Structure 1
Amino acid sequence: MRFAGRAALWPIATLLLVVCAGRFAWAHDAPAPTAAAQPAGSNTVTPAGHTEAHLEGPWRFQIGDNPQWADPALDDSSWSAVTLDKPLSELGFESYAGYAWYRIRINARQLQPPGGEPLDLLLTPHSIGQLSVFANGVEVGHSRGFDGSPSMYMSLPLDLSLPAPAADGTILIAVRTWAAPGVQISHGLLDRVELGAHHDIADRLAVAVSQRWDHEIIAQLVLSLLFLFVAAFGAILFFAQRHHSEYLWLALLCVTVAVNGIIQLLWQLAIISHSAYFPMNLWIGRIFMAVTLEFILRFTADSNRRFIRGVQIAFLVFPAFALLGLEQIYEILSVSAEVAFLGLVLWMLFHAWRRGQREAGVMLFPFALAAVADSIDTVLMYMADKRWISDKMANHRFSLGPIQFGISNLSFAIFLASLIAVILYRFVRVSQEEQRSNAEIAAARSVQAMLIPTELPSNKHFMLESAYVPVNGVGGDFFQVLPVEDGSLLIVAGDVSGKGLQAAMNASTLVGAFRNDLSRDPATILQHLNNVLIGAAGSQAARSKDKDAVVSFSTCVCARIYRDGSMDVANAGHLSPYRDGREIELPPGLPLGVIPGMTYEQVRFQLQQGMRVIFLSDGVVEAQNDDGELFGFERTQQVSNESARYIAQTAKRFGQNDDITVISIYIAALESSRTEEEELAPTY
């Protein structure tokens, strides 16, 4: 797949080339003069300087293979005449595969350099063609793929020394070419042949190597290094914000592309053969697709994880068909995979943009542009294979100094530039949001510190103990214990919905209202707190621009314990307290802030000396272990007669996921009777 493999290595090459173009010397010589058209039978040489000549032809050309075709005495007059300045497809030849021979006879005496310096021959292959060169029937050199059994390597320019000419002063040069079965050859595997003195050909070889680096190596090398740099940058962002895994997958995506680039370089420099390059390039392209889908999945927070996982597995399995020799099945699956890959990525980005994720919308157009540009290249190459357009038109490239690039390179440059810009914008935005969140959490903690008293008003009648274990965020837990003039205790405990500063502020509102309430009756206090919270929620809704903002509510339990052990309790949706290891049954009541004018039922219980009453938040009951099991009411009841610290630590060790608050009241001593004023206190 071109988009996921080879083409993906070029995303922002042109942007880098602007910076690095000045660092590379202009190594190109002036265009060589072209020979005039010659009759097919006259093998001619076109001078290109004092000691150089371009052997453009006509060459004699024959498809097939026969060792006798290297013999200078062979009559090749029946062979076709071709020139190297035009592709075979433009000379009337159909595409072929396998072997073909080129032959030309030159007059070496006319080209002999001054001083008797021997002649050298410089051959520039086209693409992956393998060459073996014969002079007067003797092999003088070959490309790497022709040493022993033929194998496919990317062919590099060859500098070969020619032997002494024959008695008549001529040298018959025969070039045997080969490409592996299945490679359709339409251009011809011999691209350029130059003849001249050794030192001049050495200079021409340096120019050819420089041109090859300019046209095929430098941009890819720089781009691979750039992707490694971006991968390192993505890793740094991930370590800075570990809960944002999209940065890690961005780094892995860039590493995948960089590895693919390294593989491409090893192939272009003829370090590895096609038999090694093909499976590596095959798999790395599919790995790129799978990693890109994972990056987009994490980036957009898409919910279709199971479906995407299935697609990723399918992408990684497809190359096995090619390795098993099922090329036709693989071609069908490959095209399908490319269409599915592009469609999925574009859909996920579009869907995220529609959900309000602006960064996804910024990435949408460049990604589509890169995909369309790659498709254009594919269509042009297909049209060239069908000979509907010329190879030159299909492979047209632009130049920026000595460096060349194509239309798709610019598109991918825009894509990667937008990717980097979006990631930087996202990182800065998330960092700012986290700073604001941390500031809110710090403010909320300072507020909540006032809602959780550190000293409790114990006396000879009651021994109080509390434990508060916050989770990472700041919740809405609160409790207060107020001594009353008659020696009784007034206790309120609750949990405001939500997290962060808003929950802490709502809890502080309730605590302030509780401490300023002149009533000492639990049911009346809950009615007052309900009205206060509804009023506060109305004010917040009026100030908020978000019409869908969730109105805050709070569970709450309020109790008054007298010196003689009687206890009045009213509950607004909070967990019931425990008495001596048993849950106290209370009438149900709606949480505060739900219905205006809500009234709450109050009940009375009698406590005995030595009893313990426990008030707690839902952080105890809802503690959850790694297996997803809740601490639950049964375990809570089993530990409900223990100290507050023991209960809190037991729930925390089980698996805390919310703030834990526990208040323990131990009845140490009781008075025999209540005063007349206390007896007349109303009960609801």
Structure 2
Amino acid sequence: MIRSFRTLICVSAMWALALVASAKISAPRQRPPSPPTERDDVAVISLGRAKVPLYGPWKFHVGDSPLDPVTGKPLWAEAGFDDSQWETVDLRHKPGTPPSVFGSPNSVPGWTGRGHPGYAGYAWYRIHVGLIERPETRVALAGPTAVDDGYQLFANGALMGGFGDFSGKTPTAGVTKPMFFSISQDSLPQVGTSRTSATSLVLAFRMWMDPTTLVGSPDAGGFHTAPVLGSEDAIWDVYKLDWLARVLSTGSNAAFAVGFVALALLLFSLRLVDRSDSVYLWIGSVFLLRAVVEALHSAVSWINLNGITWTWMTDVINSFIYAGWLMVWWVWFGRPRPAWLRFAVFGLAALNLISTLFAGSTSVISAPTSVTAAFYVADVVSRLLLFSTLIWIVVQGIRRQGVEGWLVLPAVILFGVGLWAPELVSLNVPFFWYPFGVGFTMWQVIDVALVVTLTLLLLRRLLRSLERQRLMALDVKQAQEVQQVILPEARLTLPGLLIESEYRPAREVGGDFFQIIPNRVDGSLLIVAGDVTGKGLKAGMMVSLLIGAIRTAADVCADPDLILRVLNKRLLGRNDAQATCLALTIARDGEVVLANAGHVPPYRNKEMIAMEGALPLGMVDGAEPSLMRFQLVEGDTLVLVSDGVIEATDANRQLFGFERVAELLQTARTAAEIASAAQEFGQEDDVSVIYLTRTAMS
């Protein structure tokens, strides 16, 4: 008992000396720091290798501290400053209450949610800590992991460091990073024995919040989480764990960014499967924009980015995302009328962007309440119009496609939830989730559900598209077979004539055509060759029409001029249906009558026949072809080529041209040689060649 009593007297004496020394150096109107005893306004902590969150009691005051006229240091940082009249703040998260909008699961509202709405600028937090520690213990502090925006830390009046740049006229800071502060032993007056010591510590945080942080932050300002005080080793572990938690909390954003990029690339590749469906490009583009937003969410946790800059960047991208989703469903349902709807969509997105940006800007610059309210109303109206337009598109889709329209309703509802997320947050709907320490936002949960829904819809759409392509390929194959049937034989021998032909379409179905029709009555021969505008199945169908007309006209009259006039009438009034064509008859005695309507003139004995120009078929009613007559004698040759030979193009974009054709004819003896030469040079269009030789009459 006596020994304990003596120890108590020694400790009391040392505390008395410490209080006297503190009183001598304190500024006027300040009271000395209290010893570490159990009181309402002092947190008493016993330190070994322990760590303790500083939940409170904190003292809080808005504004900035006056400076000591002698030292130039802020008076509110001094240990002896009397803060008893300040507000008391507790940083404990109350069970059952939602976390701060921009904090961790156990975060608390800032000062705007604690009775100081709309306030931005400087503010101070102070806490009195009584430490019972071992002499070998070094004290450190882990800075708060969620705070708006920057801060400076003072321990018993001495500046320990901070987060953000306070060197300029206006401090700057980005998203809070984990910070480690070693509390200098010089700032800790100690009273005690060799085994333990008592320390009176006053921590003061000088806070700064930029006005731009108020944009979209209903509870911004100051602490959202508590700093942690403890031994240096323990706090270093906390610091490392805080960084690990930061990686985990932002890892979902990085994962979503990578996932959206992968989905976008997959959708762009589906465009190669079905080039006629642009919905894959639109959805892929929206996913790329979502990837940018998620990447920005992840990056902003690692770099110092001004709050308003970050907000504006996301607002711009989100407005494009809104417009992109509306275009997705507009294309999905076959672009329902009116055609100007797509321009209206981007106009509404622009209205949303402008109203959102100006609403935030006017609140930051303290514009009149009526102006800010007007822009907020415009923001709500623009989103309402966007959603109404989407509903109208879906209703039109249901009317046109029935079941297909009803299937997209889940995706549309999810889009609507994301569109009205800010209003849902204001109704205390949870915005953040932290399963296993990994942070997820409401938008990310919506995105996951939306991707799953779209995957099912796109799979169904892709299967239907593949089925259509299969049927189309079957149609093309049948058209190709029909075209091969209606082409004449590759080699034909008639009295006095040897005829070879070669046909090599640029696609499965070509637009070149020719017919070789001998007349068994008088021994003459009718040849009609031409080239329909365009390629593919449409051109193939036009070829079938013209060949039918040629054979019908040839049964009545083999006059080349009359045949071209008949074909011209068949093509008139069929929109862009046009064709170059020539027709010629070779009598038994070798007399040739040639009519040409814009086709490449034939080569007689390796030289092009000079003819007057004429309009192609299908352009003008009553157009007259150019006509001429000449005689073929034994040994003469007549070569007919399509413009696919002349217009063959090599890798350097050089045309095969008329000169190369003339040179080729000096050596080529068959139609196959000419066609192969053009094809190897670089085929761009259908290639057809007819090689006719006048032989002795048998």
Which category of TM-score, normalised to the shorter sequence, fits these structures?
A: 0.5 to 0.7
1:65 aligns to what SS in structure 2?
Answer: coil
Could you tell which deviates more after superposition, 330-339 or 168-177? Answer: 330-339
Structure 1 residues 344 and 565: alpha-carbon distance in aligned structure 2, compared to 1, 3 A threshold: farther
Q: Is 2:420 the partner of 1:369?
A: no
The CA distance in 2 between the partners of 1:439 and 1:275, in whole Å, is 58
Structure 2 match to 1:34 = none
Structure 2 match to 1:451 = 486
Structure 1 match to 2:451 = 416
Give 1:174 deviation, angstroms.
1.1
Q: Quick check: 1:267–1:274 contact (8 Å CA) kept in 2?
A: no
Q: Quick check: 2:356–2:379 contact (8 Å CA) kept in 1?
A: no
Structure 2 residue corresponding to 1:268, chosen from 293, 296, 301: 301
Q: Is 2:123 the partner of 1:100?
A: yes
Structure 1 residues 664 and 334: alpha-carbon distance in aligned structure 2, compared to 1, 3 A threshold: farther
The CA distance in 2 between the partners of 1:667 and 1:263, in whole Å, is 78
1:401 aligns to what SS in structure 2?
Answer: helix
Structure 2 alignment gaps of length 5 or more: 1-37, 66-73, 93-107, 192-198, 559-578, 603-608, 619-626, 648-670
Q: Quick check: 1:89–1:95 contact (8 Å CA) kept in 2?
A: yes
Question: What is the percentage of aligned positions where both structures have the same residue?
Answer: 24
Q: TM-score, normalised by structure 1?
A: 0.62
Give 1:117 deviation, angstroms.
0.6
Which AA in structure 2 matches 1:371?
A: F
Question: What is the CA deviation profile of residues 271-311 of structure 1, one whole-angstrom value per residue up to 9, with x for unaligned ones?
Answer: 43436534543444445456556656665553548726963
Q: Is 2:207 the partner of 1:177?
A: yes
Structure 1 residues 105 and 317: alpha-carbon distance in aligned structure 2, compared to 1, 3 A threshold: closer
Q: Is 2:401 the partner of 1:356?
A: yes
Q: Is 2:481 the partner of 1:474?
A: no
Question: What is the CA deviation profile of residues 441-460 of structure 1, one whole-angstrom value per residue up to 9, with x for unaligned ones?
Answer: 34432431232224465656
Q: Quick check: 2:131–2:201 contact (8 Å CA) kept in 1?
A: yes
Which AA in structure 2 matches 1:74?
A: F
1:479 aligns to what SS in structure 2?
Answer: strand
Which AA in structure 1 matches 2:41?
A: N
Question: What is the CA deviation profile of residues 208-254 of structure 1, one whole-angstrom value per residue up to 9, with x for unaligned ones?
Answer: 3444444x312112111111222332343345556655544544433
| Equivalent residue runs for 1:50-69 within 5 Å | 51-66=50-65, 67-69=74-76
The CA distance in 2 between the partners of 1:178 and 1:509, in whole Å, is 81
Structure 1 match to 2:436 = 401
Structure 1 residue corresponding to 2:183, chosen from 142, 162, 184: 162
| Structure of greater relative contact order (alpha carbons < 8 Å, 6+ residues apart) | 1
The CA distance in 2 between the partners of 1:309 and 1:459, in whole Å, is 68
Structure 2 match to 1:484 = 520
Which AA in structure 1 matches 2:517?
A: V
Structure 1 residues 186 and 46: alpha-carbon distance in aligned structure 2, compared to 1, 3 A threshold: farther
Structure 1 residue corresponding to 2:314, chosen from 251, 259, 281: 281
Structure 1 residues 429 and 75: alpha-carbon distance in aligned structure 2, compared to 1, 3 A threshold: same
The CA distance in 1 between the partners of 2:349 and 2:628, in whole Å, is 66
Q: Quick check: 2:250–2:439 contact (8 Å CA) kept in 1?
A: no
Q: Quick check: 1:238–1:245 contact (8 Å CA) kept in 2?
A: yes
Structure 1 match to 2:343 = 307
Q: Quick check: 1:45–1:56 contact (8 Å CA) kept in 2?
A: no
Give 1:192 deviation, angstroms.
1.0
Give 1:54 deviation, angstroms.
3.2
Q: Quick check: 2:51–2:234 contact (8 Å CA) kept in 1?
A: yes
Structure 1 residue corresponding to 2:40, chosen from 39, 42, 49: 42
Structure 2 residue corresponding to 1:198, chosen from 207, 232, 243: 232
Structure 1 residues 466 and 231: alpha-carbon distance in aligned structure 2, compared to 1, 3 A threshold: same
Structure 1 residues 156 and 496: alpha-carbon distance in aligned structure 2, compared to 1, 3 A threshold: closer
Give 1:82 deviation, angstroms.
1.9
Q: Quick check: 2:352–2:382 contact (8 Å CA) kept in 1?
A: no
Structure 1 alignment gaps of length 5 or more: 1-39, 384-388, 525-553, 570-574, 589-604, 624-644, 671-684
Give 1:138 deviation, angstroms.
1.0
| Equivalent residue runs for 1:114-129 within 5 Å | 114=134, 116-129=136-149
Give 1:62 deviation, angstroms.
0.9
Q: Quick check: 2:326–2:345 contact (8 Å CA) kept in 1?
A: no
Give 1:154 deviation, angstroms.
0.8
Which AA in structure 1 matches 2:523?
A: G
Q: Quick check: 1:54–1:195 contact (8 Å CA) kept in 2?
A: yes
Structure 2 residue corresponding to 1:234, chosen from 267, 280, 292: 267
Could you tell which deviates more after superposition, 181-190 or 168-177? Answer: 181-190
Structure 2 match to 1:6 = none
Which AA in structure 2 matches 1:82?
A: V
Structure 1 match to 2:196 = none
Structure 2 match to 1:259 = 292
Q: Quick check: 1:56–1:84 contact (8 Å CA) kept in 2?
A: yes
Q: Quick check: 1:63–1:101 contact (8 Å CA) kept in 2?
A: yes
Note the aligned Cα RMSD (angstroms): 6.2
Q: Quick check: 2:61–2:87 contact (8 Å CA) kept in 1?
A: yes
Which AA in structure 1 matches 2:232?
A: H
The CA distance in 2 between the partners of 1:373 and 1:117, in whole Å, is 53
Structure 1 residues 133 and 271: alpha-carbon distance in aligned structure 2, compared to 1, 3 A threshold: same
The CA distance in 2 between the partners of 1:103 and 1:669, in whole Å, is 118
Aligned length: 561
Structure 1 residues 520 and 118: alpha-carbon distance in aligned structure 2, compared to 1, 3 A threshold: closer
Q: Quick check: 2:212–2:307 contact (8 Å CA) kept in 1?
A: no
Give 1:619 deviation, angstroms.
10
2:445 aligns to what SS in structure 1?
Answer: helix
Q: Quick check: 1:126–1:188 contact (8 Å CA) kept in 2?
A: no
Structure 1 residues 503 and 253: alpha-carbon distance in aligned structure 2, compared to 1, 3 A threshold: closer
Could you tell which deviates more after superposition, 142-151 or 75-84? Answer: 142-151
Q: Is 2:188 the partner of 1:153?
A: no
The CA distance in 2 between the partners of 1:421 and 1:207, in whole Å, is 40
Give 1:61 deviation, angstroms.
1.2
Give 1:150 deviation, angstroms.
0.8
